[in-house]
Amino acid sequence: MNIQTVPSSPFDDQKPGTSGLRKKVSVFQAPHYLENFVQSIFDIIGAVPGSTLVLGGDGRYYNREAIQVILKMAAANGFGKVLVGRDGILSTPAASCVIRKYGTFGGIILSASHNPGGSDGDFGIKYNTANGGPAPEKITEAVFARSRALESYRIVEAPDVALDRIGATALGDMAVEVIDPVADYAELMESLFDFDAIRAMIRGGFRLRFDAMHAVTGPYGGEILEKRLGAPAGTVINGEPLPDFGKGHPDPNLTYAHELVEIMNGADAPDFGAASDGDGDRNMILGRRFFVTPSDSLAVIAANATLAPGYAAGLAGVARSMPTSAAADRVAAKLGIPCYETPTGWKFFGNLMDAEKVTLCGEESFGTGSSHVREKDGLWAVLFWLNILAKKSLSVEEIVYRHWAEYGRNVYSRHDYEGLPSDAAAGVMAHVESQFPALPGQRFGGYQVKFCDDFSYTDPIDGSVSTGQGLRIGFEDGSRIVFRLSGTGTEGATLRLYLEAFEPDPAKHHADAQQALAGLIGIAHDLSQLKPRTGREQPTVIT
Ligand code: G1P
Ligand code: ZN
């Protein structure tokens, strides 16, 4: 095996964000950039020689090239075997599933999730540990520190490995095993949900659409929804994965999944609509002319979990990220199970799931999942909803209204201000925080401030502390305003404003969320001076 040690100089910007290292494709294409980061990962994780690694990505531009580089570096760094998805493809939840199923040392996932792809789009890379989940901060920080000192990397000199056929080949002393990207994941889904009941519902005339947004879930949706569950061909739309996602923005929300939204609002709308993102971990759930907020989706799944065979024994607990609404907390209270509030990002759920403290978890950002893997899981959420619909024989809308009637409605919205100059965004945050000492007890219209803080979290399992996770202003009636800066963007800063108001009265549950939240939105703008400070009159995206 011809191992080269290639001299290189450190980069100072390889700090992983909310979910791995994300940069423009052109940044990753710079000489040694990808290689340095991969070598930093290998140096830190300390895999024993002969270990197995999982490798795959969402198929975006530069996926193929990066896979070949990483395979050659894995061989040079002493791995014994790499399980790689055919054509370098694995959705993020499927990668997590494969790591766990085959007990590998860890895995590398290539994705920038919902960020646009193509030669001028984004690329990303992250490391997942043996539990199948994103590496915790102590690893990502050590990788960053290593990347700032790295002076060379190791790579074998060899021709590219053919990845289009299932089976094993040798790369130096390492085996490269090309696996079906869908099979293990589909088998896991079949073990969790009542496929017979869903099949019968579809046979009985239930209609659905799944928008894969030209991203990784096309083949997964095709195999599971159309082939195994018998939905007619055409149920999966935009099902062909493309390196630039068909020039779309593969984020399943009301703005970017507009094709699906139009179908679901149309005259002959199907009963159920869903979409997933670039790497398959996000989901959006729609009924006929009805949007289910991700926070409500988590709560509805929690309340009905035992209808799915994989969850028939009940839930150990639930967890939600801090900005996610407290709808799930209400379900947990009724079920008599714990509900944990964690910082934004899936990596904070891993410890709770490993310690069997929680079964379900979710984020307001279209992420829902459970301990079946250690990533959020888009298609899993879709199947959970189909399972619930099949068992309850109600429409999506009826299920949600009945849920609110029982638990009350946590009216919720998120306003994103994308691409702001970093100093303007930081100025808004500083301005809000500067008022904290005087806010408690103050009244704004009908709202009285109960508390305000910069959210920090002490992990109940390992005691690690994460600070600076978002500015919270809580009101006496349980309503909330949260300001937070995104940790996943690659250009400028994105400021997120999260708004939540609790409405116990079923007579008011039909209200439009933006109208119901208008009072809180006004308070948020008064307090933050967001408009004058950023020059933005409107959010870029409202969900
Ligand atoms: C965003 C979401 C967050 C999610 C992350 C990765 O992070 O808000 O909930 O875990 O993407 O999908 P942010 O850009 O807010 O840091
Ligand atoms: Zn994603």
Q: Provide the residue-wise pLDDT of the chain in tens; the chain has 543 residues.
A: 799 999 999 999 999 987 899 999 999 999 999 999 999 999 999 999 999 999 999 999 999 999 999 999 999 999 999 999 999 999 999 999 999 999 999 999 999 999 999 999 999 999 999 999 999 888 999 999 999 999 999 999 999 999 999 999 999 999 999 999 999 999 999 999 999 999 999 999 999 999 999 999 999 999 999 999 999 999 999 999 999 999 999 999 998 999 999 999 999 999 999 999 999 999 999 999 999 999 999 999 999 999 999 999 999 999 999 999 999 999 999 999 999 999 998 888 999 999 999 999 999 999 999 999 999 999 999 999 999 999 999 999 999 999 999 999 999 999 999 999 999 999 999 999 999 999 999 999 899 999 999 999 999 999 999 999 999 999 999 999 999 999 877 778 999 999 999 999 999 999 999 999 999 999 999 999 999 999 999 999 899
Pair 465, 531 in one domain: yes
Pair 425, 402 in one domain: no
Q: How far is the CA of 21 from the centre of ligand 1 (A)?
A: 13
Q: Which residues hold their Cβ within 5 A of ligand 2, which is an ion?
A: 113, 277, 279, 281-282
Please check whether residue 498 is in contact with residue 324, taking contact to mean a CB–CB distance below 8 angstroms: no
Pair 210, 355 in one domain: yes
pLDDT at 489: 72
DSSP string, 64-86: HHHHHHHHHHHHHTT-SEEEEEE
Which residue, by CA, sits nearest to atom 8 of ligand 1?
Answer: 365
Q: Tell me which of 181, 205, 236 is where a domain ends.
A: 181
Ligand 1 nearest atom to the CA of residue 365, by list position: 9
Q: How far is the CA of 158 from the centre of ligand 2 (A)?
A: 32
CATH number at residue 218: 3.40.120.10
HSE value, Cβ hemisphere, 13 Å, CA-based, for 332: 22
Q: Which ligand is nearest to the CA of 280?
A: 2
Location of structure tokens 């017979």: 196
Q: Which ligand is nearest to the CA of 416?
A: 1
Distance CA 527, CA 42 (A): 46
Split into its structural domains, the chain has a count of 3
Instruction: Compute φ and ψ for 64, nearest 5 degrees.
Output: -60, -45
Which residue, by CA, sits nearest to atom 5 of ligand 1?
Answer: 345
Pair 128, 191 in one domain: no
Pair 113, 207 in one domain: no
Q: Tell me which of 181, 201, 232 is where a domain ends.
A: 181
CATH number at residue 422: 3.30.310.50
Q: Which domain range does residue 413 map to?
A: 409-542
Of residues 210, 213, 245, 250, the one with CA closest to residue 231: 210
Q: Tell me which of 407, 434, 449 is where a domain ends.
A: 407
Pair 302, 317 in one domain: yes
Ligand 1 nearest atom to the CA of residue 19, by list position: 6
Ligand 1 nearest atom to the CA of residue 346, by list position: 10
Pair 223, 369 in one domain: yes
- The catalytic residue among 113, 295, 365, 370 is 113
Which residue, by CA, sits nearest to atom 10 of ligand 1?
Answer: 345
Q: How far is the CA of 490 from the centre of ligand 1 (A)?
A: 13
Ligand 1 nearest atom to the CA of residue 363, by list position: 9
Pair 152, 191 in one domain: no
The residue to mutate among 488, 490, 496, having the most atoms of ligand 1 within 8 angstroms of its beta carbon, is 488
Ligand 1 nearest atom to the CA of residue 489, by list position: 14
Q: What angle do CA 523, 528, 532 make, to 5 degrees?
A: 110
Q: Which ligand is nearest to the CA of 58?
A: 2
pLDDT at 159: 96
Distance CA 420, CA 252 (A): 22
Pair 176, 216 in one domain: no
**pTM for the full predicted model:** 0.94
Pair 417, 490 in one domain: yes
Which residue, by CA, sits nearest to atom 15 of ligand 1?
Answer: 486
466 given a catalytic annotation? no
**Dihedral of CA 528/529/533/536: which sign?**
positive
Ligand 1 shell residues, CB under 6 Å = 18-19, 113, 321, 344-346, 363, 365, 367, 486-488, 496
Distance CA 336, CA 541 (A): 36
Location of structure tokens 């579809």: 202
Strand partners, 124: 22
Pair 345, 425 in one domain: no
Q: How far is the CA of 428 from the centre of ligand 1 (A)?
A: 20
The residue to mutate among 15, 18, 416, 466, having the most atoms of ligand 1 within 8 angstroms of its beta carbon, is 18
The residue to mutate among 344, 346, 495, 498, having the most atoms of ligand 1 within 8 angstroms of its beta carbon, is 344
Pair 29, 148 in one domain: yes
